[in-house]
Structure 1
Amino acid sequence: MEIKLIPLTSLLVNTENPRYEMVSNQQEAIQLMIEEQKDKLVKLAEDILANGLNPSDLIMVTPYEKNESQFVVLEGNRRIVALKLLNNPNLILEKHKSLYRKFKQLNESFEKNPIVEIPCIIFSDEKESYKWIRLKHTGENDGIGTVSWDAQQKARFEERMEGKAKYSLQVIEFLKNQDNIEEEFKKQLKEVPLSSLQRLLSDPDVRGMIGIEIENGKVVSRLEPDEVIKPLKRIVNDLLRDDFTVKQIYYKDDRLNYIESFTKNDIPDKTKTLDQKWELMSALTLERNKKERGPTRQRNKPLSTKRKTLIPKSCIIPINNPRINKIYRELKDLDLDNFCNAGAVLFRVFIELSIDAFIEKYKLPKMDKDTKLHIKVQAVADYLEANGYLDKHQSKGIKTSVSDPNNIMSINTFHSYIHNKNFNPIASDLKLVWDNIEPFIITLWNQI
């Protein structure tokens, strides 16, 4: 074997290329390649123009027995055909007009910096090349051939090339590095389909439910790591199930329906926050710093009325009553800008039915069908505070708001939406009310 620069004009396309049936001459070999590859040849030619030939994958040739100045290509026929078409688009037959136009345009760039000589490895005995060609094209061969990368290995390589990892890979690495996750679970992480995980993490509503954000390509969170782990473990376990398919999360509505299926054990506690955001890829450092700092104070989530619906899509509440759950889901779909009155009335119904469901579950005393709603709300808030589910500030906030007649969160205001024909609800006010009572409602349903 020897490596040598050989003129493009001296390289012959193999008439016995294993890709195809044997042909009789060069013209037929080139036309057969064109017929089979079509636009793939264009893509290959564009890449050669942009990056040159792959220096780690030399063209393999053997001397042509009828002319010692020519060489038959044993490996690399597609690249040689692409180069020949770049050099001379007229080799393309009239019936392939589109392909001809593309190569004619590429030819203009090629002529400015033509590739006239090709580095090749010459096998004096053609049979000596068979082993290497076989290893290249027939798979891993028990480790002798090229061992293909799986999706996660490809993603890591792309991370090194581009300087940033896919969201899915960042999540996988985060889970691998957690001391409080079972080793058996970690072993299965390499089997997780990254494309499906990436599809979920690319959806802002799914991220909102998980409690993560994307900043400059990095997955970050303000929640405590243990809370982020909850939904991520559920997602990973689902993606690893044999009966789980990408169809279940392919479209936006599919993904929303999917996260609606999460139980309260899968949903993070949004009140358990840290002083600042942290990157999932640096979670180990975070945990060490957290231990050194001691406990951190909780933060309320920022309020936002930019959404169209009353309840944000990312808010997941496990409601076990079929009718109340249906109302809750309708409030996540209803466009308040166009159906503000319907939203206000349904909101009022949702609050009362939720309160009644809690009272029935825990049999709170002195409550009946005639008890005023604001009294029932206060009783539920007192119970949640007394049992450690709400702190005194959260409890006081909800009780004060619903009893103050001048507050937009007051029960009087909700009554007016239903009974006062001259009182019109405002979409932004309704959304603000939801944002303020969301922790209370979530806590309430988490205990039912």
Structure 2
Amino acid sequence: MKQASMHVTSLTLDELNPRHAQPTSSLEESIAAILDKDTDKILRLARSIAERGLNPTELIVVMPDSELNIVLEGNRRIAALKLLHKPGLAPNVQLQRKFAAIAAKAEIPWRVQCIIAESRQQAAPWIKLRHTGENKGVGVVKWDSAEVSRFSGRSNSTEKARLLTEAMNAWFADDADLIADVATVRENRITNLGRMVGDPDIRKRLGISFDGDSVISEFPKERMHRILARLFHDLAGSYSVDKIKTKDQRTNYLQKVEEDLPRLADRLDAPERFSITNPAGSADPVEADETPEPKTPKPPRRRRPDFEKRLFQSVSLHNVSLRTSEVFQEAKQLSIDEMPNIAAIMVRIVVDIVVLDVADQLGWNRGQGDLKSRIGAALHQVDPAQNNPALKDAWRFSQKDEGALVLKTLHQFVHSWQFNPLTSEVRKLSLAYGPLLTQIDELIEKKKR
């Protein structure tokens, strides 16, 4: 057997999956059977994939069969991944909305590392070993409770740090600078944050604690804003691990930021809880030994300001050609702040190739000789009345008053080496053209029905 990287769309589920009481006859039926067995587990798996990606320690096993690549091992993972990319595969509207909501919050991988088996017989011994217990030590030997406890003690600080970043995004959604620092820390300095929140004295003085998947705050959010903004700004910037490695160093940090800390007199009478599984309940008081009573619905959380860390961050394309999809997914990995020149070039290229791809598939008139005409043709297809608010900036930047200036900027990104792109320009264009890419991609599916 050999290892290979495969595109999600090239994989199909096993219709002879041992998990099914009866063989299935289509991808949709296979997905329905997996969901029917335990819907909640697949939703939790999808959330895990959205947050952490696929488990790299357990590869998918695939068997090529004619033009199909049948998943022999990892059907649940691939089913969850397909549902994240195309929620319409779920058997009902309610589930479709749940998978769409999960997918909207993260970058979902398109490529999967697989082990290629020549036949079912070749893969069978390894799959059997994977699913039939310890097998006298040959299979997976589970940890006992003491071993789990020792491992959890080492990894728990990082999990606390991740929970705190989720709470920060909810508590201070309107502070774009702080949210940018949170994103930097989460991606590049999460273990440093873990050192800080893993220290009980730091937690006590910040006024936070952790309970399962919840963050508990001892102070009103407005009293915590200043110190938490300072902490994340420091960790995102100059504060390396060498400055917070020891207990004394962390104590010195508290002394340094004393003026930013909340006053002890401001503590809440009843602490508040934020949970990643129930973010709308972030203001629920924490009461000991109390059975919760039915709660009246709370107003939805305020929407986070648009701040794209990566190119076309919130856009997913499901119907463009494989090559276009691969280019698009690779472009989405670019950090606008870390690679502004490449991101600037790719925003122009991605818009053009997606528009051309859709035009090819739908047989539009290809007589448009310049980028403005090509974008204009796409806009007229999806918004002929020019009244879609999501496309307002795309119209304005490419066809109306600012069109000449913005299109000139797109061309300069590629052709003028004396032109240095600003990250704000790249981010603005990514946000403007993202809805257009989404809507012309959806148009492919509508036209082909």
- Determine which structure has more spread, i.e. the larger CA radius of gyration: 1
- Shorter chain as denominator, the TM-score bin is 0.3 to 0.5
TM-score under structure 1 normalisation? 0.36
TM-score under structure 2 normalisation? 0.36
